A and B are shown apart, each in its own frame.
Chain A
Amino acid sequence: MRHAISVLVDNEAGVLSRVVGLFSGRGFNIESLSVAPTMDPTKSKIVITTTGNDAVLEQIKKQLNKLINVIKVVDCTDKDYVEREMVIVKVRAEAETRAEVLRIADIFRAKVIDVSPASYTLSLTGDVRKLEGFIEILSPVGILDFIRTGTVVMEREMQGRRKL
């Protein structure tokens, strides 16, 4: 099962390397990664999406907590949370498909951020399933390239209540 783990760390040189090194050294998998400073500039937030059974996830959380620079580890999968990532897709758009690409972009509420005679470059923000759906639908048209960010997550303010 896919888990999004949010790791609050000291914003110091080498901390990301400790976290990433832990995953590679112990054979844990990283599917995506995002890292940036938080509201408190002395701290950074790392969000790692990973897969594994309960025992593996338990070890990942414990091993992360064991690192001296790790302040807090939250497995968002246990909670109500919102998540977003972004994708930029360069898609073939020649005379016969230009309109189709724009229709798909419209359906997904993607933005056109670059145009050339033979292609559109689109950007889309959403959760993983939406992004994957978008890429799947665009594929037959001819994707030239795409790039995705890691996931960012935030716990919902009202845990365990009606989702807004």
Chain B
Amino acid sequence: MKKITGAQAFIESLRQEGVKDVFGYPGGAVLDIFDALMDASDIHFVLTRHEQGAVHAADGYARATGRTGVCIVTSGPGATNTVTGVATACMDSIPLVVFTGQVSTHLIGNDAFQEADIVGITRPCTKHNYLVKDVADLPRVIKEAFYIARTGRPGPVLVDIPKNVQQALIAFRYPDQVRLESYNPTYRGHAGQIRRVLGVILKSRRPVIYAGGGIVLSNSSPELTEFARKLNIPVTTTLMGMGVFPSGDPLAMGMLGMHGTYAANLAVTNADCLIALGARFDDRVTGKVDEFAPRAKIVHIDIDPTSISKNVRVDLPIVGDCRMVLQGMLAELEGKGDEVSEMQAGVAPWLAQIDSWKLEQPLRYCQGELIKPQHVVEMVDELAPDDTIITTEVGQNQMWTAQFYRFREPRHFLTSGGLGTMGYGFPAAIGAQVAFPDRTVIDIAGDGSIQMNIQEIATAVQYKLPVKVFILNNTYLGMVRQWQSLFYRKRYSHTSMATSPDFVKLAEAYGAHGIRVDRPDQVKGAILEALAIKGPVFVDFVVDPEEDVYPMVPAGTAICNMLLV
């Protein structure tokens, strides 16, 4: 068999995995891979301007498509720059494979130039990671890395490849299958437990579905929607679950938790049965754990056993893939027509109660002289095409988007939920735009967050990616300022961002378009103008600097304890 180099074997392995798009940044320890990449015209490479941007872009690509995102970066600083992106993907269970160059094996441990123990550094924030010391292991490791990243509860896998391994020769053969003795995720829920759970659900009269990112990851939004509608169960979603249930449906209650809706938080607090689907009872959702769903039997369906009974005592767990478990429950319902109609009728008073909560305290804000950020989000929702992909940064911009943009489908909203990474939204939007060049992709940003990865504007311009960045510019690190305002006696310690660049000139300097608006009556026109431009656009919305996100549950208190507008 003809021998090829490790670098060529690497490219061939990517082909075998069906990889079409790769994000990254070259450097000394990956020169061989980049050299081989030049001969691979079938693999589209996107050069970001920072390794963190590359990982977030691959992450946005993965979230928008459901495929595994891929990055290649160099050793040392290239590798350490990926850490925030890797941790972001790990917290939100996003399938990524990050390849890092490493110094040659004989130099490892010698504090060589651009050496970092990236496998050691990323051990706690990857699903798994590898250092490939022998080129003979490379195809198997790549096969395993993709398999581990996308199966079970997905997550990032990092593969560290020393330079001499890239140069060594190998008789390449890609393995047909993965053999991992110790890794066998459970997909099929326990049939008996599914029946038991359904029995409890059918007897409940104040049920609530609490759906999270697991519904997105398992592509089970249709099954969830069918199940909820069949039994008349109201649905609240986490930040990661936005879009898994159509927001226009009468059963939809919006998001729950710290900035959740009044109706969702009260429904959870008063429920007699809470059905958690692919969600993990994060502290931003539960508030004070002891007072979370205190009257409910808690059902928890999740593919990751460690999520079950981690934060909240669960009465009825099912370990399995949300899609397969929901399919199992729907099949079980077939023969239970009487109980189903009994439940549908029985929950009517509960639904009426929830409707009155919705009317009592809807999400709202007051218009004023200045542009209200919520108004911008509402206008984007109104004007952008239905298949628009929205990304956000982290903070107020993220919460207003979750509250005021009516998500109708999964994979339309990409945001850093678990880690809360400022600087995520713009590169993630670039990744999503690479996957879907013809769709509208909008990053709803803050003036603070956008500056954390603003260099990626060059990437958008270089690859003609017409990403729109709508900056809700309140001249503050708004969410931190909000906390200071509410809980730190308005002592705004270092949250003023009065000195920001002129975003219009900045966009223009990079070869993009810039628009600035500071009056409410200009908002609609600016959005339409931006959407019509065929290239990347920054729109600087100068918004009310003191606007806060409400409702708000103060950290550590029960979620029924909401500060309202």
Footprint of B on A, CB under 8 Å?
Answer: 10, 13-14, 17-18, 21-22, 25, 55, 58-59, 62-63, 65-66, 68-72
Interface residues of B in 287-331 (CB under 8 A from A): 304-306, 308-310
Contact of B487 with A by CB under 8 A: no
Is B67 positioned at the interface, with any CB of A under 8 Å from its CB?
A: no
Which residues of A have CB within 8 Å of B120?
A: 14, 17
Given contacts A59-B306, A66-B304, A71-B181, 5 further A-B contacts (CB under 8 A): A58-B309, A59-B310, A66-B305, A68-B182, A72-B182
Residues of A within 8 A of B3 (CB): none
How far in angstroms is the closest Cβ of chain B from A40? 11
Judged by a CB distance under 8 angstroms, whether B123 is at the interface is yes
B window 144-189: CB within 8 A of A: 148, 180-183
Q: Find out whether the CB atom of A55 lies under 8 angstroms from the CB atom of B182.
A: no
List the A residue with the shortest CB-CB distance to B183.
A68
| Given the contacts A17-B123, A18-B123, A65 and B128 also touching, CB distance less than 8 Å | no
On chain B, the residues within 8 Å of A72 by CB distance are: 182
- Contact (Cβ within 8 A) B182 A21: no
- Whether the pair B123, A71 counts as a contact (CB closer than 8 A) is no
Return chain A residues, CB-CB under 8 Å to B127: 68
Task: Tell me the bound Cα distance from A10 to B120 in angstroms.
Answer: 17
**Are B306 and A62 closer than 8 Å at their CB atoms?**
yes
Chain B positions within 8 Å of A, measured between CB atoms, are 119-120, 123-124, 127-128, 131, 148, 180-183, 304-306, 308-310
Hey, which chain B residues are within 8 Å of A66, CB to CB? 304-306
Query: With A17-B120, A21-B123 in contact, is A65–B181 under 8 Å at CB?
Result: no
- B182/A71 in contact, CB under 8 A: yes
Decide yes or no: A10 and B306 within 8 Å by CB, A17-B120, A25-B124, A68-B128 being known contacts: no
Q: How far is the CA of A97 from the CA of B274 in the complex (A)?
A: 69
Chain A binding surface, main DSSP class: helix
Closest chain B residue, CB of each to CB of A71: B182
Q: How far is the CA of A10 from the CA of B505 in the complex (A)?
A: 56
Give chain A residues whose Cβ lies under 8 Å from the Cβ of B304. Answer: 66
The number of inter-chain residue pairs (CB within 8 angstroms) is 36
Q: Which residues of B contact A22 (CB under 8 A)?
A: 124
Q: A62 contacts which chain B residues (CB < 8 A)?
A: 305-306, 308
Cβ–Cβ < 8 Å partners of B308 in chain A:
62
Q: By the criterion CB–CB under 8 Å, are A14 and B182 in contact?
A: no
| B181 contacts across to A, CB distance below 8 A | 71
Most B CB within 10 A of own CB, among A10, A25, A62, A63: A62
Which residue from B124, B131, B148, B310 sits with its C-beta under 8 Å from A21? B124
Give me 22 A-to-B residue pairs in the complex whose CB atoms sit less than 8 angstroms apart, sorted by A's number: A10-B182, A13-B131, A14-B119, A14-B120, A14-B131, A17-B120, A18-B123, A21-B124, A22-B124, A25-B124, A55-B309, A59-B306, A59-B310, A62-B306, A62-B308, A63-B306, A65-B305, A68-B148, A68-B182, A68-B183, A71-B182, A72-B182
Residues of chain A within 8 A of B124, CB atoms compared:
21-22, 25
- The smallest beta-carbon distance between A74 and chain B, in angstroms, is 14
Most buried by A among B183, B306, B309: B306
Contact A69 B123 (CB under 8 A): no
Known: A14-B123, A18-B123. A68 touches B180 (CB 8 A): yes
CA distance A72 to B184 in the complex (A): 12
State A157–B119 Cα separation when bound (angstroms): 40
- Docked pose: A22 CA to B123 CA in angstroms: 9
10 closest A-B pairs by CB: A71-B182, A62-B306, A68-B128, A25-B124, A62-B305, A68-B183, A63-B306, A66-B306, A21-B123, A70-B182
Most interface-central of B181, B182, B305 (chain A CB within 10 A): B182
In the assembled complex, the CB of A5 is this many whole angstroms from the nearest CB of chain B, namely 15
For residue B529, give the distance in angstroms from its CB to the closest CB of chain A.
Answer: 49
Cα of A71 to Cα of B180 in the assembled complex, Å? 9
